[in-house]
Structure formats: structure tokens, C-alpha cells
A = this chain, B = another copy of it.
Amino acid sequence: MARKKEYNEEAVVEKAPELFWRNGYENTSMQMLEKEMGINKFSIYSSFGSKNGLFLESLKCYKQRLSTLMSKLENSSNGLLSIKLYFYDFLEFSKDNELSKGCLVTNAANELGETPDIEIQEALVQFANGVKLLFTTILKQDSEKNEFVVEAQANYLLIAMYGLSSASRVFTAIQLENYIEHTFKNL
């Protein structure tokens, strides 16, 4: 064997999501990542293979951070009210200054071009499936709803969440609160 790494991979990768989240994939350069992560390009490439690889690891980090909110929802028992709270929690979670950074996953989806990277696309789809499943589980707490209603409402809420994430980067907190309240009035 030989020389040891001077950095901890799991520690430095934590610095990457913030940049991708704030600037998007294309507008985050290796130069910025070098500076933010505190290691140079060679080390990034030897640890993560490519910018794409690093982004995929960043997605994992992001999901883990968001898992706090998702666990809270998963362990709640107030049905729709809990989901509404999740919407508000998400806004708080993604708050940057007066505006929000949106959602790393949604931002990445909005950035997808005509020929998207398959691995990234797959990661985004899986994340969406996870959120929808979570909504479905909570909605089923209300035994009055049959499976078709649950399916339709979960779909509705998934798209509403997607829209909220995207819109949160542009609209004010008051407007977003108004949006959430109206969104749940319809259920």
C-alpha cells in the first residue's frame, strides 16, 4: 500500500449538493466544486469518476437530508393534514434567503434536455416514485377513500409538490402559502 487520502470522501461530498442545488448542474463548474469541496480536480475524479458521478452522489446526499422530513411524514397519522405540513416543511427546508433554492431533484428535472443522462433520469424517477408511495401510504389512512381515489389524489399531490418546488424559486412566501392552502382545499 501507499499514501493515505488526506480527505474523507463522505465528508467532502457533503459540500457538493449545495452548489448543484443553488446553481443547477450546468452552471456548477469543476472549478467551483474544487474550491467548495477543498480538494482538487484530480481527487474529485479519482473519488467520483466524473462530474456526473459526483452529481449522482450529491443526489444521494440530498435524499438523505430530505429523509428527515419524509420520516416525519411517514410516522404521522393525521392523513392529509400531515401531507400539508410536509409541503410547509419542504418550503422551510429549501429556504435560502428571501427566496428558495427549490428542490435539487426538481431543479435537475427542469434542466433535463432532449437526451438526458440515463442514470440521472433514473435517479429522479425513483425519487418521484418514493414520494408518491409515501403520499399513497398516508392517504390510505383515511379508510373512506378507495384505491382509485387514493391513486388520483397521490398523483395530484405529487404534481402539486413538483410545481411548488419549481415555483418556490420565483414566488413569494405569501403566494406559496396561498397556493398550498388552495391545493389542499380541493381534497
Contacts and interface: CB of A to CB of B under 8 A. Distances in A.
A111 B176 CA distance: 19
Interface in A98-120: 106-107, 109-114
A53 interface: no
Contact of A110 (B110, B155, B186): B110
A18 to B, nearest CB: 12
A185 B163 CA distance: 17
Interface in A160-174: 160, 162-164, 166-167, 169-171
B163 A176 contact: no
Contact of A182 (B153, B171, B176): B153
A64 interface: no
Contacts of A109: 169-170
A45 interface: no
Contacts of A185: 186
A112 B111 CA distance: 11
A170 B161 CA distance: 13
A31 interface: no
A39 interface: no
Most chain B Cβ neighbours within 10 Å, of A111, A175, A179, A184:
A179
B179 A113 contact: no
A159 B155 contact: no
5 contacts: A112-B170, A156-B182, A159-B171, A163-B166, A166-B166
Closest 7 CB pairs of A and B: A163-B163, A156-B182, A166-B166, A110-B110, A185-B186, A159-B179, A186-B186
Given A26-B27, A166-B167, 20 more contacts: A26-B26, A27-B113, A107-B110, A109-B169, A109-B170, A110-B110, A110-B169, A152-B178, A152-B182, A155-B178, A159-B164, A159-B167, A159-B176, A160-B163, A163-B163, A163-B164, A163-B166, A182-B186, A182-B187, A184-B186
